[in-house]
Structure 1
Amino acid sequence: MASTERAVDLDQPGSAASAPTVPATPTSAFSARAGRFLAAAAPSLVWLAVRLVGVLTLGWLSALNGDQLLTRLSVWDGQWLLAIAGGGYDGVPLGLVDAFGHRNPTTPLAFFPGYPAAVGVLRFVTGSDLELAGLVVSLLAGLVLAQGLARLGELVPGGSRWSGLLLVGLVAAAPMGVVWSMTYSEGLFCACAVWALVGVLRRDWVLAGWCTALAGTVRPTAAALLLAVGIPLLVAAVGRRDGWRPWVGGLLAPLGLLGYLLYVASRTGSLTGWFDLQRRGWNSKFDGGAATLAFTRDTLATGRSVLEVLTVAALAGGLVLLAVCWRQCRREGLPWPLLVYAAGVLVMDLGSNGLMNSKARLLLPAFTLLVPAALALAKRRPSTAVAVLVAVTLASAWFGGYAVTGWSYAI
């Protein structure tokens, strides 16, 4: 029996394709533009929301401790970085000293120049004071970091826009996330690092090389990033993939870190000049983790302070997350450069001596450890994911506020 149905000829008059289109109204056009803007700004808005809770909590705790919020946002290392931004390495006030109360002309060289340079440029352009310029640089770096994290969360296998936004929230609410809002260099470093890793995943080798070079001017943790970016660059170059770009990226990547270490060597007269400054001024050297193990043992045995106990918990959490990343890399295709980078940061943090109170802060650059957590949360109901994010935001806000106001020593 022949069917009485017939296909619709979309080219004939009166068909759906030839029906007159309804012109867009100004209201609908505005709504479309607003929707696109909100979609693009979503990572920044998530970041700002989490950090606003942290800053407000810090302000509340500062008032309870008889201090001012702006003063707390630029303490300890922040003072050094702002002083270098204001007067260069040779113009740092004599009142700033190392962990042992000492100071010589080369002591300020222990701090990398990238963040002070950014603050100095912004101060020159805007005419603002140093503290405000430093806080604005940290804010802008956080927004760039948020956009990179969202992109990273989309690029990994199983990723999505939602998992990227969750990753933004989790990183913003890391245990020592208060530092993202202070005049510290972690935010600027991680902004460079995340886009370097995005460049690797997209095989945009020039972007990866440039961002790694910039990161190398900001923090010594760039050594871990250089390893994670350098291996894929080498593989691509040797395999003759993507033409000249891996070669250019490979040439760019080490310039920042090696360039500054060589500069310090020229100022101190020793190729190990920067490492010598760290050892003499802050007792910071690589000891294979012996000091961290001793700190963990003593802290768990005595429970001397909330911050030290929670620092040990954060370090243990980092190791657990590294194991999860390893499993995800083997079974679910998590890109191995993310694992290499996180492992490098952990080795540098756990394997070094120095100020044990800064261990939790030094974990911040290992943000790729949180990628599996973001992917797992994205598979849950949105209400569950949001509840978890709210909980960690509140915990981070208190912990960071306590570390900066209730704790008497540097973080």
Structure 2
Amino acid sequence: MSTAASSAATDSAATDDKGAERPRRVRRLGLPDGLRLRVPDGLRPYADPLLLYGAAKLVGTVVFAALLLASGSYREKNPRFGGGAHWWDVLATWDGWWYLQVAEKGYDPGPLRRLNPGGMFTVEQNSVAFFPLYPGLIRGTSEVTGLGLYGSGILVSVIASFVAAAGIYAVISLLAGARAGTIAAGLWAVVPGAGVEWAVYSESVFVAIAAWCCYCVMKGRWVAAGLLAFVAGLNRPTSAALIGAVGLAALVTLARRESRRKHGVAGPVYAMIAAPLGLLTYVAWVGLSMGELTAYFTLQREGWAHFFDFGSYTLDVLANTAIGEHDYIFAFSVPDLLAVQLVLALPFLIALMLRKRPPLVLVAYTLASIVSVLGTQQIFGNTPRYLLPCFPLLLAPAAAMTRLGWPTLTVFFAIAAPASGWYAHFVLFELGVP
């Protein structure tokens, strides 16, 4: 009875003498009162996660800058390989240098040029190893805004990182609630490898596409999912994991009668057909342009020493690390040690993710991405960066952290954000090769 009376009193209080309802209060998601913002209705759910993500990322970047200035080592390095006149130049070195070259000059896909045998690399490196979407966005942004290519590259990555954080929030909140989604967005700002999110690297663009593609699959928006997977194929070769996950989810949908009735046939079929076209088209173009159908893979293997070896290289690194040795290619002590710890944590993160029973598209995408990373010979210290797209692994930690109050969460992020300036930024760019 008291509940009914209270409800009636509330209804009465919400209506004035003329029967008109008072404006509803702004919906609040989870940050403390002092940090909540009033934003347009369509963006309101994303205000808290984006604020948390941006704050954590900014703190990490500031600490990274302070460490670079304190070290000064970047001033002594080649501007192409981790150096520059200013600390921020470091953010456009290594792969970033290649992306800026493509944005400025385009591609020059001539025949593969063989080098003298006996060295680590037997083929001359070529810019076609770097997919066109991100440098295309850099060039387009520069043309529209008037910014230089460096500034445009940073701008594209920063904007894409917020789109990615919003996508991660959207996916995780569907499975574990808005609070978990907000925490997951914050965690993505401080995970190992997060240093490339605000650098001239393509990870932020890829994760933005991947997160929203998975969201579209979960919501049954197959046309959008197919288009996003197609675009992802123009951004990174690792998009194969996303493309396969979309195709598998579409196939399972078609195989189930109830799913066919709900989603129809045309949408899933379209997604299956459209998803791989971007990746296949670019790889085929490289092959035709260089006079060798497998030119892209030859370039990766012989020009960068990156190739799928079924995990042999990963096992070699783990075995060497266990006995304190570094007798393997691309050895960097500090980044490798952090990467080993992350690899050892993967079985637990995978098991915890599976306990949450996420949709097939998330499971397939995550597992395929992990197999691709651990099964490939590449710079082992970059494993945290290569695993950055595996955002579904944040599901279980974010859900568990919802039990914590905001004071505890504030302490956590107040420690993790500045610490990430070292382990996710400085270690990646200055103590290793990103």
- TM-score for the superposition, normalised by structure 2: 0.81
Match of 2:346 among 299, 306, 318: 318
- How far apart are the structure 1 equivalents of 2:13 and 2:137? 60
- How far apart are the structure 2 equivalents of 1:345 and 1:188? 16
Which position in structure 2 is the counterpart of 1:4?
A: none
Deviation, 1:363, is 0.9
Which position in structure 2 is the counterpart of 1:149?
A: 168
Maintained 8 Å contact 1:166/1:377: yes
1:128 aligns with 2:162: no
Maintained 8 Å contact 1:283/1:353: yes
Partner amino acid for 1:383? Answer: P
Maintained 8 Å contact 2:109/2:128: no
Which position in structure 1 is the counterpart of 2:362?
A: 338
Maintained 8 Å contact 1:284/1:352: yes
Which position in structure 1 is the counterpart of 2:401?
A: 377
Which position in structure 2 is the counterpart of 1:291?
A: 313
Which position in structure 2 is the counterpart of 1:80?
A: 98
Partner amino acid for 1:107? Answer: N
- How far apart are the structure 2 equivalents of 1:162 and 1:212? 28
Q: CA separation of 1:103/1:131 partners in 2, compared to 1, >3 Å: closer, same or farther?
A: farther
Partner amino acid for 1:70? Answer: W
- How far apart are the structure 2 equivalents of 1:180 and 1:351? 24
User: Secondary structure of the equivalent of 2:361?
Assistant: helix
Q: Deviations over 1:188-240 (max 9, x none)?
A: 00000000100111011111111111111111111111121111112223443
Partner amino acid for 1:46? Answer: L
The within-5 A match list for 1:6-405 is 19-20=17-18, 34=39, 36=41, 39-66=45-72, 67=74, 68-90=86-108, 104=124, 107-156=126-175, 159-239=176-256, 240-241=260-261, 242-243=263-264, 244-302=266-324, 305-329=333-357, 334-404=358-428
- How far apart are the structure 2 equivalents of 1:162 and 1:192? 22
- How far apart are the structure 1 equivalents of 2:56 and 2:399? 19
- How far apart are the structure 2 equivalents of 1:340 and 1:405? 30
Residue-pair matches, total: 384
1:410 aligns with 2:408: no
Which position in structure 1 is the counterpart of 2:79?
A: none
Q: Deviations over 1:270-329 (max 9, x none)?
A: 332211110011111111111111111212322762221111111222232112222332
Q: Percent identity?
A: 32
Moved more, 356-365 or 183-192: 356-365
Q: CA separation of 1:295/1:82 partners in 2, compared to 1, >3 Å: closer, same or farther?
A: same
- How far apart are the structure 1 equivalents of 2:400 and 2:247? 29
User: Secondary structure of the equivalent of 1:73?
Assistant: helix
Maintained 8 Å contact 2:129/2:299: yes
Q: Deviations over 1:240-259 (max 9, x none)?
A: 34222222222221111111
Partner amino acid for 2:350? Answer: L
Maintained 8 Å contact 1:51/1:172: yes
Moved more, 239-248 or 120-129: 239-248
Q: Which runs of 5+ in 1 are unaligned?
A: 1-6
Maintained 8 Å contact 1:58/1:397: yes
Deviation, 1:384, is 2.9
- How far apart are the structure 2 equivalents of 1:216 and 1:135? 21
Q: CA separation of 1:339/1:390 partners in 2, compared to 1, >3 Å: closer, same or farther?
A: farther
Q: Deviations over 1:358-380 (max 9, x none)?
A: 22211111111111111111133
- How far apart are the structure 1 equivalents of 2:109 and 2:422? 36
Maintained 8 Å contact 1:46/1:165: yes
Partner amino acid for 1:306? Answer: V
- How far apart are the structure 2 equivalents of 1:152 and 1:23? 34
Deviation, 1:393, is 2.4
Partner amino acid for 2:173? Answer: E
Q: CA separation of 1:338/1:19 partners in 2, compared to 1, >3 Å: closer, same or farther?
A: same
Partner amino acid for 2:17? Answer: A
Q: CA separation of 1:123/1:32 partners in 2, compared to 1, >3 Å: closer, same or farther?
A: closer
Q: Which runs of 5+ in 2 are unaligned?
A: 27-35, 75-85, 327-332
Query: CA RMSD for the aligned pairs?
Result: 2.9
Q: Deviations over 1:326-377 (max 9, x none)?
A: 2332xxxx22321211111110100011222222211111111111111111
Moved more, 293-302 or 114-123: 293-302
Maintained 8 Å contact 1:290/1:351: yes
User: Secondary structure of the equivalent of 1:308?
Assistant: helix
Which position in structure 2 is the counterpart of 1:3?
A: none
